[in-house]
Amino acid sequence: MTQIARVFARHNQMADIAGADKPPRRLRLHRRFRDLACGDLVELDATGDEVTRQLDRNNVLVRRDGFGRRKVIAANIDCVWIVIAPEPAPSRNLIDRFLVAILNLPARPRLLINKQDEGPAARPEWLDAYRQLDLDPLFVSAKSGFGLDDLAAAAAGQTNILVGQSGVGKSSLVAALLEQYGIVDAIAPTTGDLAASGEGRHTTVTAQWFPLANGGAWIDSPGVRDFTPEIPSLDTLERGFPDIAERGDQCRFRDCRHQSEPGCAVLAAIEAGELPAARLQAWHALAAEIPAQNRARG
Ligand SMILES: Nc1nc2c(ncn2[C@@H]2O[C@H](COP(=O)(O)OP(=O)(O)OP(=O)(O)O)[C@@H](O)[C@H]2O)c(=O)[nH]1
Ligand SMILES: [Zn+2]
């Protein structure tokens, strides 16, 4: 008899895979499953030792690496929590770039502002810039436990992934949630695939699935310095910037690039203080990457 199982983590030619109510086992994968990622569902043979089929996925979060290659991060995601903290200093550009990938999955984007125990400085004043995007920011502290009840409630019953810069506290948040809200306690985040970073602390190197007791899961993902979403077309870009796309419909020219055209509704919105200039800068930078990405794709 075959069985359906979940990929908890992917490591090169191997993957940690768990059947219902069983702890994950590390299995070697056939080459045809090279695309398999954390969160994927697979079929195992009767022995449970071999992956025989990869099930269809709802969606998959991917990035482009420095060589333009497609890198799969995790699959079957409902909600992506972009984690920021006072330290390391948040990059709004990184948030803008994540949003393109998230809104195209599609999945719900949320902003998680960690390390609230560090005081009022932990609340960035530029949050208003994202009001239109409904990121519904949640303020938490993995260290003090502040806001974790709200976080657990907001995450219940769905597959959640934490993304963001290295050191914002993604693994600490998963650990705190595991401890307080009885997720499957057999696998604590520290047993995931960790490597010592330069500062002597641990850093996550591959996405890791943590099932919630009542369905759904948390996925901890490796910290990033930068993030390049896949952007095959201007339509993809527009889905990532609904605030710009909406105003762009009012531009005088249908093919307005929002650069210096007369009657540009996007530039007018910036002039009026309704849209941050940084959002349009991020748009232009990403629009410029479309042709190169298409060339790399061949
Ligand atoms: N003050 C404070 N420090 C925290 C909090 N959460 C995490 N930290 C600290 O921040 C540092 C990084 O935490 P991690 O959980 O390893 O961060 P990460 O985002 O998982 O990092 P990567 O795995 O490299 O992506 C550690 O020294 C934590 O102790 C918090 O709520 N408050
Ligand atoms: Zn325009």
What pLDDT digit, counting tens, does each position of 222-244 carry? Answer: 999 999 999 999 999 999 999 99
For position 298, what pLDDT does the model report? 56
- Write down all domains in the chain, each with its CATH number in brackets: 3-54 (2.40.50.140), 70-220 (3.40.50.300), 234-297 (1.10.40.50)
Q: How far is the CA of 78 from the centre of ligand 2 (A)?
A: 32
Mean pLDDT, range 47-64, rounded to an integer? 96
Whether the predicted pLDDT of 13 surpasses 50? yes
Nearest-CA residue for atom 28 of ligand 1: 169
Percent of the chain whose pLDDT exceeds 70: 92
Each residue of 61-96: pLDDT tens digit?
999 998 889 999 999 999 999 999 999 999 999 999
Ligand 1 binding pocket includes 206 (Cβ within 6 Å): no
What are the E-state strand segments in the chain? 3-11, 14-19, 25-28, 41-44, 51-54, 60-64, 70-75, 79-84, 108-113, 138-139, 159-164, 194-196, 202-204, 208-211, 217-220
**Does the Cβ of 221 fall within 6 Å of ligand 1?**
no
Tokens encoding 27: 């299995």
Q: What percent of the chain has pLDDT over 90?
A: 75
Q: How far, in Å, from the CA of 288 to the mean position of ligand 2?
A: 16
pLDDT (0 to 100) of residue 292: 87
Read off the amino acid at residue 66. G
- Name residues whose C-beta falls within 8 Å of residue 97's C-beta, 6 or more positions apart in sequence: 226, 227, 228, 229, 282, 286
Nearest residue to 226 via CA among 64, 80, 86:
64
Q: Residue 164: pLDDT band by 50, 70, 90 thresholds?
A: very high
